[in-house]
């Protein structure tokens, strides 16, 4: 992993100089030197003490890491995270709420618990770093497209799981297998009743064979759907654990570059999952895994007039 970008010596010196206690002590010492009657001696001593302080603090690794993190956060807040207009925010909210409203209550609650977990871990991480100005609870390094993409894929996986479950519930496997057995028996009887030379032109036999092919195809579709259901269920568990792990990591890791790299790596590793969602679009009705909306920063409280109100944050764990 590449070494995180440093803020630079000038930034370290600036932050050390504008530290409020330094400015207070420097101002008091300067005033005392001027009032001492020996400013020509006292002021150089104050200046020498200030230089010693700046040189000492700006070279401390812990201080440099803190300033590096602050500079990285500022950079991501300006260049890395473009401003979202109220219209775009409303559109993102509508996309999220639309999917949530189509989910069953248990799946909707599962997603809201995961999102609430991300927000809670972010608040804790902010508190650990002493950042209390972010009222939304979404820290800078976690408010980024990669984590939103993970949550968006997780949400669509829930929709895929629900659609597959409904498909399998509606499919009568026993009836299809019975139909296959019956058709196979009728074909055998018809072949015995028709001369071998006439079988290719026998309309009844061709109809029975086509019906058998269709029944076998239906059985194969169900078998594939069962395999997809197992994969989606396993992928939901895997992705949920990944998201929880990376947000919990924010509490113990102060390096934004490392956090960003880990989130990006996880996001890039879900291409197979996104491909499965595309393959299931005939069942789920989803055309593609489109660009993820800003899920962490969105207000997804459902309007009061809608059915099955969606709570912005689930308190359940």
Residue with tokens 């590096």: 68
Contact 54, 19 (CB under 8 A): no
Tokens of 304: 């009061």
Q: Between these two residues, 269 and 187, which has the higher pLDDT value?
A: 187
Mean pLDDT to the nearest integer, 292-309:
60
Cβ-proximal residues to 65 (8 Å cutoff; 6+ apart), any chain: 254, 255
CA distance 236 to 277: 12
How does residue 252 score in pLDDT terms, banded at 50, 70 and 90?
Answer: low
Contact 208, 190 (CB under 8 A): yes
Instruction: Write down the pLDDT at residue 186.
Output: 94
Tokens of 20: 């409020």
The yes-or-no verdict on residue 220 having pLDDT over 90 is yes
Contact 119, 296 (CB under 8 A): yes
The whole-chain average pLDDT of the chain stands at: 77
Measure Cα distances from 92 to 79, 87, 97, 285, 293 in Å: 21, 9, 9, 19, 5
Instruction: Write down the pLDDT at residue 211.
Output: 95
How does residue 217 score in pLDDT terms, banded at 50, 70 and 90?
Answer: very high
DSSP labels, 78-132 = IIIS----HHHHHHHHHHHHHHHHHS-HHHHHHHHHHHHHHHHHHHHHHHHTT--
DSSP labels, 15-74 = HHHS-HHHHHHHHHHHHHHHHTS-HHHHHHHHHHHHHHHHHHHHT-HHHHHHHHHHHHHH
The yes-or-no verdict on residue 23 having pLDDT over 90 is no
DSSP labels, 224-245 = HHHHHHHHHHHHHHHHHHHHHH
Which one, of 232, 243, 257, lies nearest residue 296 by Cα? 243
Mean pLDDT to the nearest integer, 4-28:
83
The yes-or-no verdict on residue 182 having pLDDT over 70 is yes
Would you give the DSSP letter of residue 280?
T
Q: What is the pLDDT of residues 85-142, one digit of tens each?
A: 555 556 767 888 888 899 999 999 999 999 888 878 777 766 665 554 444 444 444 4
The yes-or-no verdict on residue 251 having pLDDT over 70 is no
Q: What is the pLDDT of residues 59-79, one digit of tens each?
A: 888 788 778 777 766 665 544
Q: Among the listed ranges 58-72, 113-127, 150-164, 292-306, which one has the minimum average pLDDT value? A: 292-306
Residue with tokens 């500079």: 71
How does residue 162 score in pLDDT terms, banded at 50, 70 and 90?
Answer: very high
DSSP labels, 194-230 = S-GGGGGG-HHHHHHHHHHHHHHHHHHHHHHHHHHHH
The yes-or-no verdict on residue 311 having pLDDT over 90 is no
Mean pLDDT to the nearest integer, 218-228:
92
How does residue 152 score in pLDDT terms, banded at 50, 70 and 90?
Answer: confident
Instruction: Write down the pLDDT at residue 317.
Output: 38
Instruction: Write down the pLDDT at residue 290.
Output: 59
CA distance 6 to 68: 6
CA triplet 15, 66, 142: central angle to 5 degrees? Answer: 125
State the number of CA atoms in the 13 A half-sphere of 90 facing the CB: 4
Q: What is the pLDDT of residues 44-58, one digit of tens each?
A: 998 999 899 888 888
Instruction: Write down the pLDDT at residue 109.
Output: 93
Instruction: Write down the pLDDT at residue 85.
Output: 55
Residue with tokens 């003490």: 49
């Amino acid at each position: 992993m590449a070494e995180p970008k440093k803020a630079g010596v000038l930034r370290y010196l600036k932050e050390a100089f504008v530290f409020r206690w330094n400015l207070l002590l420097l101002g008091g010492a300067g005033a005392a030197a001027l009032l001492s009657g020996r400013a020509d001696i006292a002021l150089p001593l104050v200046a020498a003490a200030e230089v010693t302080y700046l040189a000492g603090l700006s070279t401390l690794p812990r201080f440099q890491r803190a300033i590096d993190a602050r500079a990285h956060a500022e950079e991501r807040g300006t260049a890395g995270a473009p401003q979202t207009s109220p219209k775009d925010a409303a559109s993102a909210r509508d996309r999220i709420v639309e999917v949530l409203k189509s989910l069953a209550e248990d799946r909707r609650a599962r997603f809201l618990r995961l999102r609430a977990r991300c927000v809670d871990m972010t608040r804790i991480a902010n508190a650990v770093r002493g950042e209390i100005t972010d009222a939304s609870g979404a820290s800078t390094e976690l408010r980024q497209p990669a984590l939103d993409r993970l949550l968006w894929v997780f949400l669509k996986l829930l929709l895929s799981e629900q659609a597959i479950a409904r498909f399998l519930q509606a499919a009568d496997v026993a009836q299809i297998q019975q139909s296959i057995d019956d058709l196979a028996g009728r074909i055998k009887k018809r072949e015995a009743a028709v001369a071998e030379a006439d079988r290719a032109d026998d309309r009844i036999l061709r109809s029975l064979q086509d019906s058998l092919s269709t029944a076998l195809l239906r059985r194969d579709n169900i078998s594939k759907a069962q395999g997809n259901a197992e994969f989606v269920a396993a992928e939901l568990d895997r992705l949920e654990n990944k998201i929880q792990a990376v947000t919990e990591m924010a509490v113990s890791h102060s390096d934004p570059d490392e956090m960003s790299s880990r989130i990006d790596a996880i996001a890039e590793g879900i291409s197979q999952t996104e491909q499965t969602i595309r393959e299931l679009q005939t069942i789920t009705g989803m055309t593609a895994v489109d660009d993820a909306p800003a899920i962490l920063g969105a207000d997804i409280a459902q309007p009061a007039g809608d059915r099955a109100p969606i709570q912005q944050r689930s308190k359940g764990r």
